[in-house]
Structure 1
Amino acid sequence: MTTNQSSLPVTVTLESGPAGNESIDDFELFYSRRAMARLRTRLGRQGLLDLLAADIEEGNAFLRESALASDGSFRGGTTVLTTRGLTSGEFLGWMDKAFADEDILLAAHPEHYSITNQADGSVHVVENIGPHTCSFYLGGWGTEAMAWAADAAERLPEAEFPHKQATNLFLADHTVIGRVLIQFGDTAAGFTSSLSVYVPSACPEDILEHHLRHFAVEFRNWIVAAAAARA
């Protein structure tokens, strides 16, 4: 009995050639990061923002409409990362310093386009939320600031996760288009990161799913960078 080759999944295995134990996926990731870094450098921040202006306008309009349709209702999800060989204090200490270096922040994800501190203490971010390129701010806009985080279902016990940070995501017109609650707790071998994001309830499911993936990529890369800086 012969097998119909066209019905089998196609796989490609690297047998020999390049040195080391990295995979083809690892090679592609390295070259993708290098290409993105080159484009960011050549264009500069303003050149990149000018290039993305139409995408940003479209993305912000989508988020604004979603927030209005949701009438203050959000739904969330959580990405959990386990780290060995580094404490949460070491990582968060590194992160505090990293926010003064945009290059480090941008390098954590290919869809980070601009991350800059503002005079009022907020942080201006241009990145993707799902397929949409958006320009928004991190901070405690509004009188309720972070009150929502105290009652969040995703909030974990202080004894296990003593390091907590919460923020609203809002547009330049102060429309709140998301929320973030990140929590860190040490373990015997390192620490656990619980990374919760909330999007307007009217958003399609894939918006939330992609930001959970976004968290996994950027925080993994920040943690690895923090460990490398310590060595």
Structure 2
Amino acid sequence: MAIGTSTAASVRIRGDIDDRRIDRSELVSARRALRLLKGNLGYDRLHALVSEQIAEGNALFREHVMRSAGEQVTGVITIEAEDLTAADFSTWMIEAFARRDVLIAAQPEHYLMDMAEPQGPHVVETFGSYVVGFYMGGWAESEIDAADEFERVDKRYSLLRLDDDGTPFGSVSTTFVEAPYGMDAELSVSLPATSAPDAIEQHLEHFSVEFRSWMLQAAAETAAPCDRSSNND
């Protein structure tokens, strides 16, 4: 018997006007379950588990590269964070790159993230509806403009290469800017033209989930020493 959904049905907790509280509970449970499963499986078994999907996704994007003949499409999304500075977040991110558990947990569709690979950071995640394995070309050196408190910018760029044959298939860039309320993160992804708009739109959504996770964790961890100091006064 197939289990489906009906647009006519509505389920909620008594007293609530909708099911958003249930959605939030499901999200917390899903994150916890994924963190447990990914942690218990480990790098090698996770890689083996999605190896067929990686081969399929890589073949698809290799075809996109050929069909697009060098033409790419770029999508950009800006994330705002309050009470977190770009300087603090940038420092936290550099340290977080050594914490595989933090990187993996930030997005449900982070399957592998190994920053210590000799060929560059090795990542397996979703582009569009396909799982793709790739190496990041290393973040280009940070460009920081500290002329004004609200103009300090941290810019980074990375070329993406398929992990089976090294084919370059796209790039990502991040720009962190100080703002009066905290910071802005301008995130962009460039992919072969024939993969747009689906892969572009999906990866911008992917960015929003992972960077919100990282920003919230960074804010909590960078604020912790101050909080402890305040409590001791």
Per-residue CA shift, 1:65-104, capped at 9, x if unaligned? Answer: 1011112211011111111101001001000000001000
Q: Is the 8 A contact 1:117 1:123 kept in 2?
A: yes
* Corresponding residue of 1:153: none
Question: 1:35: Cα distance to partner?
Answer: 1.2
Per-residue CA shift, 1:53-76, capped at 9, x if unaligned? Answer: 111100100111101111221101
CA distance in structure 2 between the partners assigned to 1:219 and 1:229 by the alignment: 15
How big is the alpha-carbon RMSD for the aligned residues of Structure 1 and Structure 2? 2.3
| Structure 2 unaligned blocks of 5 or more | 1-6, 141-146, 225-233
Q: Is the 8 A contact 2:127 2:199 kept in 1?
A: yes
Please show how residues 5-16 of structure 1 align to structure 2 within 5 Å. 10-15=9-14
Please show how residues 112-127 of structure 1 align to structure 2 within 5 Å. 112-120=110-118, 122-127=120-125
Of the candidates 210, 224, 227, which is equivalent to residue 202 of structure 2? 210
Q: 2:123 is paired with a residue of what secondary structure?
A: strand
Question: 1:41: Cα distance to partner?
Answer: 2.1
Distance 1:119 1:111, change over 3 A: closer
Q: 2:45 is paired with a residue of what secondary structure?
A: helix
Question: 1:24: Cα distance to partner?
Answer: 1.4
CA distance in structure 2 between the partners assigned to 1:177 and 1:23 by the alignment: 40
Of the candidates 80, 83, 103, which is equivalent to residue 81 of structure 2? 83
Q: 1:54 is paired with a residue of what secondary structure?
A: helix
Q: 1:174 is paired with a residue of what secondary structure?
A: coil
CA distance in structure 2 between the partners assigned to 1:180 and 1:9 by the alignment: 41
TM superposition score normalised by structure 1:
0.82
Q: 2:195 is paired with a residue of what secondary structure?
A: coil
| Structure 1 unaligned blocks of 5 or more | 1-7, 147-157
Answer yes or no: is 1:165 the counterpart of 2:156.
yes
* Corresponding residue of 1:130: 128
- Counterpart of 1:209, as a letter, is E
How much identity, in percent, do the aligned residues show?
38
- Counterpart of 2:90, as a letter, is L
Question: 1:10: Cα distance to partner?
Answer: 4.5
* Corresponding residue of 2:227: none
* Corresponding residue of 1:97: 95
The farther-off stretch of 23-32 and 213-222 is 23-32
Question: 1:182: Cα distance to partner?
Answer: 1.0
Q: Is the 8 A contact 1:168 1:178 kept in 2?
A: yes
Q: 2:108 is paired with a residue of what secondary structure?
A: coil
Of the candidates 173, 188, 191, which is equivalent to residue 181 of structure 1? 173
TM superposition score normalised by structure 2:
0.81
Distance 1:162 1:43, change over 3 A: same
- Counterpart of 2:120, as a letter, is S
Answer yes or no: is 1:229 the counterpart of 2:228.
no
- Counterpart of 1:164, as a letter, is K
